[in-house]
């Protein structure tokens, strides 16, 4: 089976590493990392991505802007996106889902939840 | 022949005829009795055969009943075993979830400690501690306070959700924060949901310890909206992370001091050798 590529967009290197470490337990998955929305778009211009996991609060370009740009791009719009954020209010969740995010994970980070969402969005049993 | 002789002959002929009739009747009776006995023999033979079948069936029934009893017992044993296996499976599933959670926590702790010890830059160490407290512990408002051993005061060096200026210096041994720094014991408010923010009396106060030597504290005033209370694992995670944070801060401070001294010495050497 070809590798599924997951793009982690998060400004904290510690968090990127934590999320990547959780996802390494999925077989046939490789990780691409970006520190903000702009870097993520640059990576997606040259690399194929099967899933995006993004934080909301990031410098330069936040996660919500990234979601709306991805959904507005004909080449990228079908990539599933999950938000991983500290923003736990219901309205934040609704806003992200309305913009086109497929799932919403709140911090503190729980590896089991991240894995379950990644499996579901990638269609891995 | 005289009439006398004729009468005697007739009388004997009658007698003979009577005897013959009686003999014929007796024979008839014998034949009837014979017939009746034969019929009785057949009847008894039939009854005897019927009795054999009944006995055989009764024996068969007894064996079948014993087998049914045996199978019932086997079924009970199998059902008991299935129930036992189901219980064991549930136990294993619960244990699996627990181990999975422990594994995740250990992985988180490993990465957090790896990151904490990946730099000797004091500001960077504080930034990593902040990220860990937000993302792994789930705190929204908190501060890192370090002890100035010369003055005996604890002062905030990093904060999230609160301005550093808002946080007063605390004397070692005084108030909740000072006491925790003095005793080295963790403090958790009993009812995090009912906690009302008081900068001198935090919801959580964790000493930053290197062995028994306290170099500062982490104080938490507010958890993230979705984190309403502490999970059992949080208490362990706090302590372990605080230990790693303490050594990382201590190493970074020593390194910064040594760099400063080296720079000063280099300045002197440069002056002397100019």
CB spacing of A112 vs B108 below 8 angstroms: no
Q: Which two tokens stand for residue A101?
A: 């995010």
- SS3 annotation, B138-203: CEEEEEEEEEECCCCEEEEEEEECCCHHHCCCEECCCHHHHHHHHHCCCEECCCHHHCCCCCCCCC
Least Cα separation, residue A75 to chain B (angstroms):
32
CB atoms closer than 10 angstroms to residue B271: 8
B173-196 pLDDT, tens digit per residue, is: 999 999 999 999 999 988 888 888
> Would you report the helix, strand and coil content of chain B in percent, each value rounded to 5?
70, 15, 15
Task: Tell me the three state secondary structure of residue A84.
Answer: strand
Domain range enclosing A54 = 4-122
**What is the helix (H) or strand (E) element at residue A4, kind and residue range?**
strand A4-9
CA pair distance A71, A41, nearest whole angstrom: 12
User: pLDDT exceeding 90 applies to what percent of chain B?
Assistant: 50
What does the DSSP assignment read for A39-66? Answer: HHHHHHHHS--SEEEE-SS-SSS-HHHH
Averaged pLDDT for residues B226-237: 81
**What is the helix (H) or strand (E) element at residue A112, kind and residue range?**
helix A111-122
CA pair distance B2, B162, nearest whole angstrom: 175
**What is the helix (H) or strand (E) element at residue A81, kind and residue range?**
strand A81-85
Task: Tell me the three state secondary structure of residue B229.
Answer: coil
Which pLDDT belongs to residue B144?
95
Give chain A's domain count.
Answer: 1
Q: Which residues of A touch B138 (CB under 8 A)?
A: 86, 107-108
Q: Is B128's Cβ below 8 Å from some Cβ in A?
A: yes
Q: Which two tokens stand for residue B139?
A: 């705190």
Question: Does residue B187 sit within a domain?
Answer: yes
Number of H helices, E strands in chain A: 5, 5
Contacts of residues B121-125 at CB distance under 8 Å and 24 or more positions apart, as own/partner, are B121/B252, B122/B249, B122/B252, B122/B253, B122/B255, B122/B256, B124/B252, B125/B245, B125/B248, B125/B249, B125/B252
Q: Which residues of B touch A17 (CB under 8 A)?
A: 111, 114-115
Q: Which residues of B touch A15 (CB under 8 A)?
A: 131, 135
Averaged pLDDT for residues B146-161: 93
Question: Does residue B253 sit within a domain?
Answer: yes
Question: Does residue B20 sit within a domain?
Answer: no
CA pair distance B231, B227, nearest whole angstrom: 9
A19-33 pLDDT, tens digit per residue, is: 998 898 888 899 999
Domain range enclosing B200 = 121-264
Contacts of residues B100-105 at CB distance under 8 Å and 24 or more positions apart, as own/partner, are B100/A112, B101/A112, B101/B233, B102/B233, B104/A22, B104/A110, B104/A111, B104/A112, B105/B233, B105/B236, B105/B237
B60-78 pLDDT, tens digit per residue, is: 899 999 999 999 999 999 9
Average pLDDT, chain A: 91
Averaged pLDDT for residues B142-167: 93
Pairing verdict, β A29-34 and A51-54: unpaired
* Residue B150: CATH number of its domain: 3.30.450.40
Q: Which two tokens stand for residue B142?
A: 């908190």
CA pair distance A51, A37, nearest whole angstrom: 14
B contact test, residue of A18, A19, A91 with most B CBs within 10 A = A18
A20 φ, ψ (degrees, to nearest 5): -60, -40
pLDDT interval class at A1 (50, 70, 90): low
Which pLDDT belongs to residue B45?
85
User: pLDDT exceeding 70 applies to what percent of chain B?
Assistant: 100
Beta bridge partners of residue B217, listed in sequence order? B145, B207
Rounded to 10 degrees, the C-alpha dihedral A18/A22/A28/A33 comes to: -20
The answer to whether residues A52 and A9 touch, using CB atoms and an 8 Å cutoff, is: yes
Burial (CB count <10 Å: 0-12, 13-18, 19+), residue B258: exposed
A contact test, residue of B101, B107, B111 with most A CBs within 10 A = B111
Give chain B's domain count.
Answer: 1
Query: Which residue in A86, A27, A121, A14 sits closest to B138, CA to CA?
Result: A86
> Does residue A49 surpass a pLDDT of 60?
yes
Least Cα separation, residue B268 to chain A (angstroms):
39
B90 φ, ψ (degrees, to nearest 5): -60, -40
Query: Which residue in B238, B235, B233, B224 sits closest to B105, CA to CA?
Result: B233
Averaged pLDDT for residues B150-162: 93
Average pLDDT, chain B: 89
Question: Does residue B71 sit within a domain?
Answer: no
């Amino acid at each position: 089976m070809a590798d599924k590529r997951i793009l982690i967009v998060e400004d904290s290197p510690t968090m990127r590493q934590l999320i990547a470490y959780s996802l390494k337990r999925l077989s046939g998955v490789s990780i691409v990392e970006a520190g903000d929305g702009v870097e993520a778009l640059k990576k997606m211009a040259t690399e194929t991505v099967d899933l995006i996991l993004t934080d909301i609060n990031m410098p330069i370009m936040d996660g919500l802007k990234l979601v709306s740009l991805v959904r507005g791009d004909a080449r990228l719009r079908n990539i599933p996106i999950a938000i991983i954020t500290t923003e736990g209010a219901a309205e934040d969740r609704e806003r992200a889902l309305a913009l086109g995010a497929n799932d919403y994970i709140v911090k503190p980070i729980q590896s089991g939840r991240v894995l379950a969402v990644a499996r579901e969005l990638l269609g891995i049993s | 022949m005289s009439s006398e002789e004729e009468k005697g002959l007739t009388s004997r002929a009658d007698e003979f005829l009577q005897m013959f009739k009686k003999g014929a009747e007796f024979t008839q009776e014998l034949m009837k009795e014979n017939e009746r006995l034969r019929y009785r023999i057949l009847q008894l033979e039939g009854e005897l055969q019927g009795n054999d079948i009944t006995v055989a069936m009764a024996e068969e029934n007894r064996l079948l009943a014993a087998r049914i009893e045996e199978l019932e017992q086997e079924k009970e044993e199998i059902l008991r075993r299935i129930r036992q296996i189901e219980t064991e499976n549930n136990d294993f599933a619960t244990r699996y979830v627990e181990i999975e959670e422990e594994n995740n926590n250990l992985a988180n702790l490993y990465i957090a400690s790896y990151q904490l010890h990946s730099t000797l830059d004091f500001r960077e160490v504080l930034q990593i501690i902040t990220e860990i407290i937000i993302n792994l512990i789930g705190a929204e408002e908190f501060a890192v306070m370090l002890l100035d051993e010369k003055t005996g005061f604890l002062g905030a060096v990093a904060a999230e959700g609160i301005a550093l200026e808002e946080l007063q210096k605390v004397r070692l041994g005084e108030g909740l924060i000072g006491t925790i720094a003095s005793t080295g014991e963790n403090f958790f408010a009993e009812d995090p949901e009912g906690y009302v923010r008081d900068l001198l009396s935090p919801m959580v106060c964790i000493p930053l310890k290197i062995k028994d030597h306290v170099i500062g504290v982490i104080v938490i005033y507010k958890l993230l909206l979705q984190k309403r209370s502490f999970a059992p694992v949080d208490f362990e995670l706090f302590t372990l992370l605080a230990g790693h944070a303490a050594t990382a801060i201590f190493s970074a401070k020593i390194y910064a001091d040594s760099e400063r001294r080296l720079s000063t010495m280099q300045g002197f050497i440069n002056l002397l050798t100019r």
